[in-house]
Structure 1
């Protein structure tokens, strides 16, 4: 490593040819100890806070994947020096945001929602665009909020990509009302840049409940760790005072959502999976995942060797509101298809706006494999029955591939149409998964 370089690892948005992948079937209980890549959510937030800080920062054990490389690339485009050539430690030296610049968001919700507020601080024109489906992801409330805070933005009438932020070198800030019921990232994006606004920011949510609330709590905790003054004592109101952010070292936890399919494998096969490197106190909703897996028949323990899940080989059905952990829906839905009783998953209408409409996609693809699954407005109703092999389409969504992998443990012949979509958050997924199933990890 030679100083602070704008180093990359090639074009993270380069088009990859589709790669079909047959999900391996488990003939024995899995028994694996793994170390997974870092949390996407923590890596993204740490990168933004580092780029807005008053001094250098490091990220230890960050996630190297398409989404986080796009975030690093976007921050470079805005002027910060980001070195990611060392997989174990990334280095960030901040620079006041500058324009003109172009930010490729790919299909990353974090990039398209965290960086427009940063771009408002740039003196110049900053354009945003990404993959075709990115133009369908909800951005309107964020655009309206930024305009109310004094940021000039050109965007389609529907409030989507592509958009242009006409930065003035500063953002007045102040109080803003937003409906963040489509995504918690709409709140987090405003909060992360808030300390750099002239008057800070007061974000008031009005509307149905904000989904994935643990992610907003993560944002608040990481802001405080960087020296920001944040008041979240009033429900649905977040107050961020103006002030400097401190450069620091960030220890990135393993990714909880990425861990979910590996934990599910323990339940499906009656085996045991231990994931190393889990902190005793986590910024991620580990307790919520522990509760859900316990209800489905798993035993979850956190010890000195890591987070361990044991299964009995019997999977119980689940009736649960997943509004706070919608990212877990694809894996949990695959588990419920293999359960001994019917299941009902609710509170997940917001995941229709994720990488794909996950509610419809899960219902459609599993029905094609013989599942008895009904799509509702905000959830899925699943009645277990024997499944068959066949092609499972991912719609370029990494979580869909994870769901297919879990089902494939018990159902031979499930072929994922394109496993390269897992590079979005875990490029190592196919190799790690196959190694776990075959016992070669």
Structure 2
């Protein structure tokens, strides 16, 4: 066993020396060839240990972060052989992987739309750009994917003294989020942009942003997740599973309940039992009653908390505007078309500053008269807690005349 450990450390020492050469600006192709020969006996966990030791030996986190893409590129031929771990539906890893697939579908669609920009007419290019904006807004959902890694997965690495790689990866998360936010903001502020300018912006700004998302997915599936499956216990994954809904999910919502092997079914049942009664100042409900009350209300509700994050929507079967559970945990600004984001921001700003308590709109939608109200939610001390959106179809109510005083059931 000691011989194996020594051989592994010798391998890592050679890798560290080669990475230092990259850091010093040595020829990347020459270093790549040397690394490939070393990696015949290496595995994904060696990359983690190498980064940790380099940071312990004085190479700064910033420098490791800058080198991260370079040495991943150099190691790619070997990492390609690493199989992405598998997990049963409902397992947190399975959810991460499904989210990655959804993200890759969006990045592929964006690339397709960028290619279309060079083929369509000047008039048609504006419509293509609008679709790109919509897809980029969806891509911002990656923030929830990253936050679950940062707040739920990385702590288990740190408990095992693997601080370095998670710190480096967190920095890369921030870079990706910054890329996407900057691109979206620039597109929202752009006016009268020509087709030629659209194409240039897409190549210089949009493509690097989506490449950042794709590269992180590669690092997750070839390095992070295989290491996590070796490192975490079933109980660790169960802790992540229980806490994940609070942060939210990214473009995918797990439909399956997951209970790990080892007799933890009782824990799930206890949690359900403890939530059976919801006690309010004027009464109480069972959870089942409360869910179905909201489902039965003749209005659609959506609640956005004080941090502009969507936390709830009512699940009525005849909703006016579609909602999916992937919006939970998402910033409300990314749930609206770019042209209306300024109105959303103004409403929330006025609510937070106490200038207004309600904003009302009415529109014709699909031949129906739709009434939309936004209400500032405050506690007894006046502290802003969030915004409640209430949407109602008033078409039939506006047509009422006279009176009805006798019992008469409406036909469905």
TM class by shorter chain equals: under 0.3
Higher helix proportion: 2
Higher strand proportion: 1
TM-score (norm 2): 0.26
- Which protein shows a greater Rg? 2
